[in-house]
């Protein structure tokens, strides 16, 4: 008797678990699709790059909030938070030893880690700050 109940209940249980997994998988796929549809800033940033417009970059998802900083003075030039699709609410510049002595850099807003050097003073492509 117990074996017949197990034989009857097992396929039902497996089917229910598979259906639950399909529902969870579909919702995660939908969420990932929306992550790749992030919009760029409504007003242009001081410099554009993966941090502002390329939603497919793994760096953009690993570092959703960035600061654009003048490394020479430590002055905040601009910021962008991909999660809020706006400027970073309360940006705090945290200088780290890895920063270059001069130039325009992009750093992680939470940690201050250097992500990229946009330009160096006197070189082509360096925006006026």
Q: What is the pLDDT of residues 47-67, one digit of tens each?
A: 887 777 656 667 777 888 999
Q: Which alpha helices (DSSP H) does the chain contain, by range?
A: 2-35, 58-62
Q: Is 79 helix (H, G, I), strand (E, B) or coil?
A: strand
CA 96 – CA 98 distance, rounded (Å): 6
Q: Half-sphere exposure (CA, 13 Å, Cβ side) for 36?
A: 8
Tell me if 119 sits within 8 A of 125, measured CB to CB: yes
CA 80 – CA 73 distance, rounded (Å): 20
What are the pLDDT digits (tens) for 92-113?
998 888 999 899 999 999 999 9
Tell me if 100 sits within 8 A of 83, measured CB to CB: no
What pLDDT was estimated at residue 1?
67
Tokens representing residue 56 in the block: 């497919």
Task: Report the run of H or E that residue 106 belongs to, with start and end.
Answer: strand 104-108
State pTM to two decimals: 0.60
Residue among 60, 77, 63 at smallest CA distance from 126: 77
Q: Is 25 helix (H, G, I), strand (E, B) or coil?
A: helix
Question: pLDDT band at 28, cuts 50/70/90?
Answer: low
């Amino acid at each position: 008797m117990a074996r017949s109940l197990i034989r009857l209940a097992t396929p039902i249980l497996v089917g229910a678990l598979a259906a639950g997994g399909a529902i969870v998988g579909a919702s995660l796929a939908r969420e990932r699709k929306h992550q790749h549809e992030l919009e760029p800033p409504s007003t242009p940033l001081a410099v554009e790059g993966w941090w502002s417009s390329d939603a497919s970059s793994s760096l953009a998802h690993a570092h959703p909030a960035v600061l654009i900083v003048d490394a020479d003075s430590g002055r905040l030039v601009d910021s962008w938070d991909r999660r809020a699709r706006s400027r970073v609410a309360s940006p705090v510049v945290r200088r780290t030893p890895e920063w270059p002595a001069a130039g325009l850099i992009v750093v992680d807003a939470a940690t201050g880690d250097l992500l990229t050097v946009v330009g160096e003073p006197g070189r082509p492509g360096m925006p006026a700050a």
